[in-house]
Structure 1
Amino acid sequence: MNQVLAIAAGGAVGSVLRFWMSTWTYALMGRSFPYGTFAVNILGCLAMGFLFVLFTDRLSGSVVLRAGILIGVLGGFTTFSTFSIEAFNLIEQGESLKSLLYMLASLILCVAGTWLGVIIGRQL
């Protein structure tokens, strides 16, 4: 039960962080492209790779804490469902090329972010 509560609390924190970062990114870059979701997903993947290595290879910390952060915070922070609807909306708006660019760049950069996070975590 503690794990479930940690995930729920972490999810709330992650969702608020996503909102703040997306809002800040859209204010900075505009709304002509889903920059907010794009930035959140890349940063979230980087953090997931790094923290996964930290929790599994470096620290022998609490399973509850690990679940609260990796599943809760980062699960609430990253936005695959939002990514999907934004890609769909771009297609519906006749922006198929922009949608394809968004999908491909998100896939490549999020996997690269995870990889970079793992590398950073393993260097500690």
Structure 2
Amino acid sequence: MDRWFWIGLGGAAGTLARYALSTWCEGRFGAGFPYGTLAVNVLGSFLLGAISEVAATTELLSPTLRLGLSTGVMGGFTTYSSFNNETIRLIHYKSVAAGLVNIAITLVGCLLAGVLGMVVARRIMAS
């Protein structure tokens, strides 16, 4: 139960941090381009990479703290960082092909799912 608490608390903190950074970016750079999302995804990927490396190579992070930071904070901040980290690990530990397949399926699958969600919502709303 302790891990669930820290993951949930971290998720809330990450979500608030994402909103704060996105709002700041929109105010600073305007809404013509998704600067906030870009900033969140790049920063989140960097931070999750650093957290993963520290957790894998040192004793500085307990398993609970690692989960709270990675699954909680970074999961609330951006899920792209998880995709990024998992793809890098596939390429590094399994094969470049596995990483490329993950990229292709994720990109195409998510785009198609988004379009399908819009179509379904439009049909439901038109009923």
Structure 2 length-normalised TM:
0.61
Which runs of 4 or more aligned residues in structure 1 lie more than 4 Å from their structure 2 counterparts after TM superposition?
none
2-side partners of 1:23 and 1:44: how far apart? 16
Q: Deviations over 1:55-102 (max 9, x none)?
A: 12122531111100000000000155xxx79xx69xx9xxxxxxxxxx
Residue number in structure 1 paired with 2:21: 21
Q: What's the counterpart of residue 54 of structure 1? A: 54
Instruction: Structure 2: give runs of 5+ residues left out of the alignment.
Output: 81-109, 119-127
Gaps spanning 5+ residues in structure 1: where?
A: 93-124
- The aligned amino acid for 1:12 is A
1:108 match: none
Instruction: Report percent identity of matched pairs.
Output: 39
Q: Which amino acid aligns with 1:3?
A: R
Higher relative contact order (CA 8 A, sep 6+): 1
1:70 matched to which residue of 2?
70
Kindly state the Cα deviation for residue 15 of structure 1 after the two structures are TM-superposed: 0.4
SS of aligned partner of 2:74: helix
Do the aligned residues in 1 keep the contact of 2:54 with 2:61 (CA within 8 Å)? no
Please report the TM-score for the alignment, with normalisation by the length of structure 1: 0.62
Aligned-residue offset at 1:31: 0.5
Q: Bigger shift: 69-78 or 58-67?
A: 58-67
1-structure distance, mates of 2:48, 2:15 = 15
Deviations 1:11-65 (A, max 9, x none): 0000000011000111111111111011101100000101100112122531111
> Relative to 1, partners in 2 of residues 1:40 and 1:57: Cα closer, same or farther, differing over 3 Å?
same
* Equivalent residue runs for 1:40-51 within 5 Å: 40-51=40-51
Aligned residue pair count: 85
